[in-house]
Amino acid sequence: MDSILVRGGTELAGEIPIAGAKNACLTLMPATLLSDEPLTLTNAPRLSDIRTMTQLLASLGAEVTQLQDGQVLAMSSHDINNLTADYDIVRKMRASILVLGPLLARCGRAVVSLPGGCAIGARPVDLHLKGLEALGATLDLKDGYVHAEAKAGLKGAVFEFPLVSVGATENILMAAVLAKGTTVLKNAAREPEIVDLAQCLRRMGAQIEGEGTSEITIQGVDRLHGATHPVVPDRIELGTYMLAPAIAGGSVECLGGRMELVSSFAEKLAATGVEIEETAKGLKVTRKNGRVRSVDVETAPFPGFPTDLQAQMMALMCTADGVSVLEERIFENRFMHAPELMRMGASIDVSGGTATVTGVEKLKGAPVMATDLRASVSLILAGLAAEGETRVSRVYHLDRGYEHVVRKLSGVGASIERVHGE
Ligand code: UD1
């Protein structure tokens, strides 16, 4: 298995291009199932999760062609010939559940494996199922699969999510665009990925209003047509690379970065004492000298501080001046990076959903293990600030969500390399 070697202590300088958003792309790809005409996505990220979704769509009969080195995905769902999303693919990636709404809306029937447990908590899909039931689907859970049917087609309804869910909002939104009549989604997620999905669906002929607010209104249409849509920049990759100079020192300009995608995160980062500047090309982060200050963080649905940046922010807090309290409010069990950071000399006390980090002057390089996608990149960030060598193993987690991480960080001067097969 590959690992990544980081030698800390080098200040960073230069530019990092930000890719299209993994999480947006993973919901835009299943949208192809809603139409028999082609959907083309530009600015797609090159990641193993995208390959998994490609595999899943292909298993249903869709064609997905990668163009321009994978940055363009040309998709066609003209010939859907299988309505079952198999466990073997779904278990690899939870976002696979996002084919359920579109298949049901277009074909009136779908059988989708329940995604397995996940390292960052139980992560049920009950809200996806409740929302589809509200639109008139009948659901049956058998042998680990959801069997969904809407013989007479889906019907618009008013549905209020009992708690904010990004994936459930996406699934129900995609189902509702082909339902008969009006659907109103209350307490909907407001993430930029939802806004991106709504924009893409509108390009395909859907009638949607209110995306980006907690109430989305969808007027069902009979069919959708083809479209071309650029994937929104990845706000989590952006936040991750904004943290790199904050941790290692120096200055990095994140190309394509936009403040409105990361405003609450940027506010916290600025409060630690680093400079953030909006430039013509993106966002530039500079840490001149001295330690950053500790800040407290509480994760929340957008526009709050993203749970997907909690691990990376913790890496910064490990060497900050003072004590930081990090509260994880979205997922239970999302502090698996803490014991790994402690192997590098960090002082962290975890109690339930709260981690208290007392900053130390220096971290020390150590062999550490990635436990999930965001945890793995937090260990790389910590390695940038550590004395000596940090070896991060199990980097397949990283390949799911960060394209060319070694190339991007070494491009700004970090000493980092991928070691094959160890
Ligand atoms: C998406 C993101 C993930 C991010 C998360 C929260 C993708 C592919 N993944 O995940 O990176 O960390 O949003 O911003 O876009 N819940 C239920 N029942 C459900 C669905 C969710 O109880 O049916 C709970 C979850 O366990 C969690 C909370 O709701 O505690 C939020 O989860 P959700 O927003 O659905 O996350 P995902 O869409 O899975």
Taking the alpha carbons of 224, 225, 226, 227 in that order, is the dihedral positive or negative?
negative
**Nearest 10 degrees: Cα torsion 223, 229, 231, 233:** -130
Spatial distance between the Cα atoms of 61 and 83, rounded to a whole number of angstroms: 9
Q: Which amino acid is at 251?
A: S
Ligand 1 atom closest to Cα of residue 189: 34
97 lines ligand 1 (CB under 6 A): no
Element (H, E) at 42: strand 39-42
Element (H, E) at 47: none
308 lines ligand 1 (CB under 6 A): yes
3-state helix, strand, coil in the chain (%, to 5): 35, 30, 35
Q: How far is the CA of 120 from the centre of ligand 1 (A)?
A: 10
Q: How far is the CA of 8 from the centre of ligand 1 (A)?
A: 34
Paired tokens of 14: 């230069």
In the prediction, which pLDDT does 332 show?
85
Site to probe by mutation for ligand 1, drawn from 28, 120, 165, 173 as the one with most ligand atoms within 8 Å of Cβ, is 165
Spatial distance between the Cα atoms of 384 and 400, rounded to a whole number of angstroms: 21
Q: Which residue's CA lies nearest to atom 19 of ligand 1?
A: 125
Residue with tokens 């998709």: 75
Q: How far is the CA of 326 from the centre of ligand 1 (A)?
A: 19
Taking the alpha carbons of 265, 267, 271, 275 in that order, is the dihedral positive or negative?
positive
Paired tokens of 334: 């999302």
Ligand 1 atom closest to Cα of residue 306: 14
Which ranges constitute the DSSP H helices of 249-283?
263-271
Q: In 3-state terms, what secondary structure has residue 138?
A: strand
Taking the alpha carbons of 374, 283, 361, 3 in that order, is the dihedral positive or negative?
positive
CB 306 within 8 A of CB 334: no
Confirm whether 25 is a catalytic residue.
Answer: no
Q: In order along the chain (422 residues), what is the average pLDDT of each group of 10 residues?
A: 94 98 98 98 96 97 96 97 96 95 98 76 85 97 94 96 97 98 98 98 98 98 98 98 98 98 98 98 93 97 98 98 97 92 98 97 96 93 97 92 96 97 68
Q: In 3-state terms, what secondary structure has residue 330?
A: coil
In the prediction, which pLDDT does 118 show?
53
In the prediction, which pLDDT does 278 show?
98
CA angle 193, 188, 312 (to 5 degrees): 45
Q: How far is CA 38 from the centre of its chain?
A: 25
CB within 8 Å of 371: residues ≥ 6 apart: 119, 336, 337, 340, 394, 397
Site to probe by mutation for ligand 1, drawn from 114, 330, 397 as the one with most ligand atoms within 8 Å of Cβ, is 330
pLDDT tens-digit map of 41-72: 999 999 999 999 999 999 999 999 999 999 99
In the prediction, which pLDDT does 120 show?
57
CB 239 within 8 A of CB 309: yes
**Nearest 10 degrees: Cα torsion 62, 68, 71, 76:** -20
Taking the alpha carbons of 339, 345, 349, 354 in that order, is the dihedral positive or negative?
negative
- Looking at every residue in the chain, the average pLDDT score rounds to 96
pLDDT tens-digit map of 116-148: 655 656 678 999 999 999 999 999 999 999 999
